[in-house]
Structure 1
Amino acid sequence: MPLFDTHCHLDDPRFADDRAAVIERAIAAGVERMTTIGCADTPDAVGRALDIAKAAPERITATVGVHPHDASKLDDALFAALEAAAHDPLVVAIGETGLDYHYDHSPRPAQQAALRRQIALARAVGKPLVIHTRSAPEDTLAILRDERARDVGGIIHCFSEDAPFAKAALDLGFVSSFSGIATFRSAEAVREAARALPSDAILVETDAPYLAPIPHRGRRNEPAYVEHTAALLARERGEAREAFDAATFANALRVYGLA
């Protein structure tokens, strides 16, 4: 069955020298679809992910957004660029946006304001959200609830919380996407969440070039490696691999409005 890497960063400089080969390796590994995530810190950066998708629209879609690390840079000019790009048919979601209280590269009020503003954009264009949340579970859920993010739903990307959080997010219309973190020995709470969710609420991703799964941990990650996360999660859930892959692929198509 085909795989869908729902979250990778193909515009990352670490792919500059061999991006085409990375995409070919993914296809050879059964990854039929990829969504490359836009994380812009200037208006000119908004189109980078979208340009990659336009070069292979049958395989690759894109998002546009401002990462919480760069939330303090979300001024009117950058927001206008996001808004313009958000209407492109190859843009399937807004994000990644969210809250990161672990690194706090932007002040927390700026992160919260940027998240609220991007939720409003998602609701305006009728596209789902890709949410980054780290060390901020309560505030993330509160803002999603307050800003009526349920109207568009979306994805908790690179899931690193616990089962109660996953269920609370699902109640707000957000499925959970599992990265290579799920393969790490220390991530039992993440695996528990994956076991607890219904089959229509799970996605798989790489977050490449970050967080390569075992057995590639410590190396540059790439979309082909989503296979390892999918295999691990199917085993954890006690599901046949073919059924798991079919479900996660269908889920990705549904959430991204590609079905």
Structure 2
Amino acid sequence: MLIDSHCHLDFDVLSADLEGLLARARANQVVGCVTISTRIRRFDAISAIAQVHENVWCSVGTHPHNAHEELDISAEEIIKLSQHPKCVAIGEAGLDYHYDSSPRAAQAQGFRKHIAAARETGLPLVIHARAADDDMIAILEEEAEQGAFPFVLHCFSSGVALARRGLELGGYVSFSGIVTFRNAVEIQEVAQFVPADRFLVETDAPYLAPVPFRGKTNEPGFVRHTAEKLAELRGESFERIAGQSTENFFRLFSKARMD
């Protein structure tokens, strides 16, 4: 079985057919998923989806694109919301210098706030990192000196150096449909050296549909294709990759429970 460790079921293109896409996911052996928060002020809507659907969990956090909009929300408020029984993670939060939709100072401030919440709760921090490798490494190193916290570098699309440093600091690396793209050579390299007990799979649906669905709306059931590509890259069976990634998921997202 597989778990889609990162998708956005509250986005309109997916929420319009939740029952259908969850049924299609189960048909592809995807038995659970985490719907990830991009705005804390939408937590009620996100947690409601998790509350009414079997084996769907959620997170609480602010995407770096929206960091400047929610700087007034404290780590203590994040911690309080994370007590929801179906909330299994903090984030997504981090740094995105590709689009710079939010000022970089605001992104860093928001990111550190989410780290504090992850450290306090013990829930894994879902990290978004794009075109910001050096600053991401610096913040992770600085924050690790203040106390360890669990985290995953989600939808990994960064360089080898960030992957290696993240692993050294105890983090996990999650692979999306990007790893199936022909030109994703560096990400495929990372997929081959990540330790067996530190990788996850995800869709980031509705974005980044894997080959052979590239360019279409992504959905949780498509994570099977990412797992199949990882099996090919690592020279292992699909069944082994599926089982290992699921074991890794429940180790990191330890609050998640199967119904």
Common fold by TM > 0.5: yes
- Give, in whole Å, the separation in 2 of the partners of 1:20 and 1:30: 15
Map 1:1-259 to 2 at 5 A: 2-40=1-39, 43=41, 45-56=42-53, 58-77=54-73, 81-148=77-144, 151-257=148-254, 258=256
Indicate the larger mover: 143-152 or 183-192. 143-152
Over 3 Å counting, the alpha-carbon distance change for 1:47 and 1:81 in structure 2 is: farther
Measured on the aligned residues, the alpha-carbon RMSD in Å equals: 1.6
Indicate the larger mover: 75-84 or 26-35. 75-84
- Give, in whole Å, the separation in 2 of the partners of 1:69 and 1:242: 36
Amino acid at match of 2:39: A
- Give, in whole Å, the separation in 1 of the partners of 2:147 and 2:193: 21
Give the paired residue count: 255
- Give, in whole Å, the separation in 1 of the partners of 2:171 and 2:106: 23
Q: Is the 8 A contact 2:38 2:92 kept in 1?
A: yes
Amino acid at match of 1:20: E
CA drift at 1:173? 1.5
Indicate the larger mover: 202-211 or 72-81. 72-81
TM-score, normalised via structure 2 length: 0.94
- Give, in whole Å, the separation in 2 of the partners of 1:10 and 1:118: 22
Over 3 Å counting, the alpha-carbon distance change for 1:46 and 1:81 in structure 2 is: farther
Amino acid at match of 2:227: A
- Give, in whole Å, the separation in 1 of the partners of 2:190 and 2:169: 16
TM-score, normalised via structure 1 length: 0.94
| Identical positions, percent | 43
Could you give the per-residue CA deviations for residues 56-98 of structure 1, whole angstroms, max 9, x where no partner exists?
Answer: 2x41111110000001012334766533211122111101000
Q: Which runs of 5+ in 2 are unaligned?
A: none
- Give, in whole Å, the separation in 2 of the partners of 1:150 and 1:241: 36
